[in-house]
Amino acid sequence: DVIDGAGQVLLPGFVDLHTHLREPGREDTETIETGSAAAALGGYTAVFAMANTSPVADSVVVTDHVWRRGQDVGIVDVHPVGAVTVGLEGKQLAEMGTMAAGVGNVRMFSDDGKCVDDPLLMRRALEYASSLGVLIAQHAEEPRLTVGAVAHEGPNAARLGLAGWPRAAEESIVARDALLARDAGTRVHICHASTAGTVELVKWAKGQGISITAEVTPHHLLLDDSRLATYDAVNKVNPPLRETSDVEALRQGLADGTIDCVATDHAPHAEQDKCCEFAAARPGMLGLETALSIVVRTMVEPGLIDWRGVAKVMSERPAEIVGLPDQGRPIEVGEPANLALVDPDASWTVTGPALASIANNTPYEAMTLPGRVTATLLRGRVTARDGVVRSKTDSEIGG
Ligand code: DOR
Ligand code: ZN
Ligand code: ZN
């Protein structure tokens, strides 16, 4: 099976620190198998499956299941993310040590979906994580500032009569956790940065020598709250789409390294939960198959980063942040390779039903995007080629 890479860009396999795969619990919207297919098609060789499943991934039973199921499917490494607390709204820290020691080897814990708003609990979580050498990924939303909020606080929300989601809800937690990490001498990772103020705060914290890292989603790099004009719930996401000045600051922050990496926050939802009234819809968007193209559109085409930079924000930095030894770095001679091959000149038109995810509502419907992943290799084995997933058994049969 010879792959002709003429004119194409060879990158290390992408690493997504933030993926919702919905298994266990909502297999009607995504499974580890369908999410793995989407990941492989998107150029990913490792994804971190968020903990807000049902049951919540707050025990080694769940985290080990996620890892094992991912390995059974065998087309992307599905690393389980453990919940910080027992249950999503828990007041008690989960047994992170047990999850870290399981076969799932959990190296990242998150409160994604429900912020740990108690500062003392968060401080204890950071200290516990630090003693284990694992990372806390903070969802960064002060829930007392987002009661009833469904869209970014601003004129578009007001015109539609939607409750506003202030930037301070995110920024106050980013500031708080930067300071908690400073005092505890620990690391903290900020999920889905969405405001210009968050970029400023992360820059300040890094300047102080605080061990803070941050991710930005493709949708926050591309879309802004003017999308709300159509009142279409495919644009509903948490944190919400912000203003063009925020989008600009996030792009600049990613270009200058203040924001470390791109993470998809791939969040599939059933049709009935997205194609309904905006206020009633669930927040979240598909992201795995479109991420590379959106990075090309928002970062490469405007000259903010080059292909070397794409390797950095899609693979090398996320792998470093979470400590993946075999991802996101140049391959030594003779080593099994995790690779993504990209045709930089290709463009394609997104259609939801053609995506590998079970859920197929997407804000990118009918958009034509640049750049296309033409092949993905996991430890030397082709997992996706020209838009077709190659399962473990395919390659066993096909050689
Ligand atoms: O938009 C979001 N979707 N944000 C979250 O924090 C959770 C996620 C989900 O699970 O759907
Ligand atoms: Zn979140
Ligand atoms: Zn999320």
Query: Tens of pLDDT along 4-44?
Result: 889 999 999 999 999 999 999 999 999 999 999 999 999 99
Q: pTM for the whole thing?
A: 0.97
For residue 50, which ligand has an atom nearest its CA? 3
Q: How many CA atoms lie within 13 A of 16 on its CB side?
A: 34
The residue nearest atom 7 of ligand 1, judged by CA position, is: 113
Query: Residue 207 has which token pair?
Result: 């300047």
Give me ligand 1 centre to Cα 48, in Å. Answer: 14
pLDDT by residue (tens digit) across 245-257?
Answer: 999 999 999 999 9
Beta carbon of 363 within 6 Å of any ligand 1 atom: no
Beta carbon of 240 within 6 Å of any ligand 1 atom: no
Residue 334 — very low, low, confident or very high, per pLDDT cuts 50/70/90?
A: confident
Q: In ligand 1, which atom is closest to the CA atom of 238?
A: 1
Given a contact cutoff of 8 angstroms between Cβ atoms, the answer to whether 46 and 293 are in contact is no
Residue 346 — very low, low, confident or very high, per pLDDT cuts 50/70/90?
A: very high
Cis status of the peptide bond prior to 239, with omega within 30 of 0:
yes
Residue 336 — very low, low, confident or very high, per pLDDT cuts 50/70/90?
A: confident
Is the model's pLDDT at 142 over the cut of 70?
yes
- Please state, in angstroms and rounded to a whole number, the distance separating the CA atoms of residues 1 and 63: 35
Residue 139 — very low, low, confident or very high, per pLDDT cuts 50/70/90?
A: very high
Give me ligand 1 centre to Cα 252, in Å. Answer: 25
The residue nearest atom 6 of ligand 1, judged by CA position, is: 113
Looking at the chain, the whole-number percentage of residues with pLDDT higher than 70 is 98
Residue 396, pLDDT score: 44
* 305-315: average pLDDT: 97
Is the model's pLDDT at 325 over the cut of 90?
no
CA proximity to 178, closest of 104, 122, 235: 122
- Please state, in angstroms and rounded to a whole number, the distance separating the CA atoms of residues 54 and 30: 13
Catalytic positions are: 265
Pocket perturbation via mutation, ligand 1, pick of 16, 18, 20 by most ligand atoms within 8 A of CB: 20
Give me ligand 3 centre to Cα 391, in Å. Answer: 27
Beta carbon of 286 within 6 Å of any ligand 1 atom: no
ipTM: 0.97
> What average pLDDT does the chain have?
95
Residue 330, pLDDT score: 65
Looking at the chain, the whole-number percentage of residues with pLDDT higher than 90 is 89
Pocket perturbation via mutation, ligand 1, pick of 17, 52, 165, 170 by most ligand atoms within 8 A of CB: 52
pLDDT by residue (tens digit) across 229-244?
Answer: 888 999 999 999 999 9
Beta carbon of 273 within 6 Å of any ligand 1 atom: no
Residue 62, pLDDT score: 98
* 54-76: average pLDDT: 98
Residue 392, pLDDT score: 81
Query: Residue 153 has which token pair?
Result: 């606080």
Residue 398 — very low, low, confident or very high, per pLDDT cuts 50/70/90?
A: very low
Least trusted range by pLDDT, from 72-81, 159-168, 212-221, 281-290: 159-168
Residue 1, pLDDT score: 72
Residue 395, pLDDT score: 55
Alpha helices (runs of H) in 266-316, residue ranges in sequence order: 271-274, 291-295, 307-311
Q: How far lies 132's CA from each of 17, 168, 200, 288, 323, in Å? A: 19, 31, 30, 30, 13
Beta carbon of 22 within 6 Å of any ligand 1 atom: no
Is the model's pLDDT at 399 over the cut of 50?
no
Residue 394 — very low, low, confident or very high, per pLDDT cuts 50/70/90?
A: confident
* 332-345: average pLDDT: 88
User: DSSP code of 282?
Assistant: P
Is the model's pLDDT at 329 over the cut of 90?
no
Q: In ligand 1, which atom is closest to the CA atom of 113?
A: 6
Beta carbon of 164 within 6 Å of any ligand 1 atom: no
Alpha helices (runs of H) in 208-257, residue ranges in sequence order: 218-222, 244-255
Give me ligand 2 centre to Cα 8, in Å. Answer: 34
Beta carbon of 238 within 6 Å of any ligand 1 atom: yes
Give me ligand 1 centre to Cα 275, in Å. Answer: 16
pLDDT by residue (tens digit) across 163-188?
Answer: 899 999 999 999 999 999 999 999 99
**DSSP bridge partners of 100:** none
Alpha helices (runs of H) in the chain, residue ranges in sequence order: 32-41, 60-73, 96-101, 119-132, 155-159, 167-184, 196-207, 218-222, 244-255, 271-274, 291-295, 307-311, 317-322, 392-398
